[in-house]
Amino acid sequence: GIASPTILVTGGAGFVGSNFLRYMLPRYQSYRFINLDKLTYSGNPNNLMDIRPYSNHSFIQGDIGDPDLVDSIFREYGIDIIVNFAAESHVDRSIRDPRIFVQTNVNGTQVLLDSAVKHGIKLFVQISTDEVYGSLQDEGEFTELSPLAPNNPYSASKASADLLIRSYSNTYSLPFNIVRFGNTYGPSQHPEKLIPMTILHALNDQPIPIHGQGLTIRDWVFVKDNNAAINTVLHYGKRGEIYNIGSGEEKRTIDVVHFILEILNKPKDLIRFVEDRPGQDYRYANNPAKIMNELGWKPEYSFEEGLYKTIEWNIKNKNWWKNVNKVKEHI
């Protein structure tokens, strides 16, 4: 290990990345964190407000796909580790407009990899998804050895990045870990995603659009558990290994929505079934046995606990996503 590494966190103004900084900054005050984020529609400066008091990090607005910028960051700060969260992250958007997904998730990752190799980085942690494995029927789970079989442009772009990293390891001896996690939820997630969308629509008595009949099955991980897992891999992961993160909390989408409506005491007739996603994946279930057995991580939040925390947060922060562009002008 490195005593006090400088860590480039990309996408740190987004949902998982900002929660990661919130998790790491107080715990590792001797480390330095550089947050590189383009502030796309899903990057929110509000996500960075409460970590401002920590002096062990800086924010740079910019694109991971900009080779001059990325290289200048390496030269100026001497990056030891990258944790790459930056991505286009929404499947529905990737179906409408795949181009930006390839640009950021594939080309952007490749730019980071080039600088990482050129400057001899100690570790590249790629944040990936169980969606790279495609879809399951009712039986079985994904392991790290499951074949890659992505079914939509988002998951294909993430799988492509994972393969590039593998190739950089083999060709240029890049030290890496890939962390693949299931559906994540928690405070400050963009309201285009199922759980915050349902909570906010329900609070405002607005219709809640649900794909198909809501019969897809997802494995839900609370964001803090996820960040603990990423931290575990960063410090103790065996280099060159892939780790799946999952909670075993498998839920049908419709049951998640019913559960939220019940907690908020809102009627089920807010639900509107809308046309299913083309090529919709039926089920994801990510087996975390490897990280649990080899590195000792385990999830601490039940789905119920995590969901209560997420609902509470959304009630307190109803305006988090309003005026985001105005906030951006002031950072």
Interface residues with ligand NAD (CB under 6 A)?
10-11, 13-17, 36-40, 42-43, 63-65, 85-89, 104, 108, 127, 129, 158, 181, 183-184, 190
Distance CA 78, CA 8 (A): 10
Q: Which member of 88, 131, 225, 281 is catalytic?
A: 131
Q: In this complex, which beta carbon is closest to ligand NAD, that of residue 223 or of residue 271? A: 223
Catalytic-residue membership of 131: yes
Three-state DSSP at 129 gives strand
DSSP conformation class of 219: E
Contact residues for 222 (Cβ-Cβ < 8 A; gap 6+): 184, 185, 186, 247, 299, 300, 301, 303, 305, 306, 309, 310
Rounded to a whole number of angstroms, the minimum distance from the CB of residue 85 to ligand NAD is 4
Q: In this complex, which beta carbon is closest to ligand NAD, that of residue 10 or of residue 198? A: 10
Of residues 2, 320, 60, 294, the one with CA closest to residue 186: 320
Contact residues for 175 (Cβ-Cβ < 8 A; gap 6+): 121, 122, 123, 124, 169, 239, 240
Tell me, letter by letter, the H, E, C secondary structure of 137-190. Answer: CCCCCECCCCCCCCCCHHHHHHHHHHHHHHHHHHHHCCCEEEEEECEEECCCCC
Q: Which member of 31, 154, 243, 284 is catalytic?
A: 154
Q: Where are the beta strands (DSSP E) in the chain?
A: 6-10, 32-37, 57-61, 81-84, 123-129, 176-181, 183-185, 208-211, 217-222, 242-245, 250-252, 271-274
Q: In this complex, which beta carbon is closest to ligand NAD, that of residue 36 or of residue 164? A: 36
Q: In this complex, which beta carbon is closest to ligand NAD, that of residue 90 or of residue 119? A: 90
Q: In this complex, which beta carbon is closest to ligand NAD, that of residue 90 or of residue 258? A: 90
Residue 293 Cα to chain centre, angstroms? 23
Position of minimal CB gap to ligand NAD: 14
Q: In this complex, which beta carbon is closest to ligand NAD, that of residue 5 or of residue 12? A: 12
Rounded to a whole number of angstroms, the minimum distance from the CB of residue 227 to ligand NAD is 11
Rounded to a whole number of angstroms, the minimum distance from the CB of residue 226 to ligand NAD is 8
Q: In this complex, which beta carbon is closest to ligand NAD, that of residue 44 or of residue 266? A: 44
Q: Which member of 130, 141, 162, 219 is catalytic?
A: 130
Cβ proximity of 245 and 125 under 8 Å: no
Rounded to a whole number of angstroms, the minimum distance from the CB of residue 88 to ligand NAD is 6
Rounded to a whole number of angstroms, the minimum distance from the CB of residue 28 to ligand NAD is 20
Distance CA 8, CA 12 (A): 9
Rounded to a whole number of angstroms, the minimum distance from the CB of residue 4 to ligand NAD is 25
For 61, phi then psi, to 5°, come to -85, 120
Catalytic-residue membership of 154: yes
Cβ proximity of 44 and 73 under 8 Å: no
Helix (H) or strand (E) run with residue 285 in it: none
Distance CA 112, CA 99 (A): 19
Rounded to a whole number of angstroms, the minimum distance from the CB of residue 165 to ligand NAD is 13
Catalytic residues: 130-131, 154
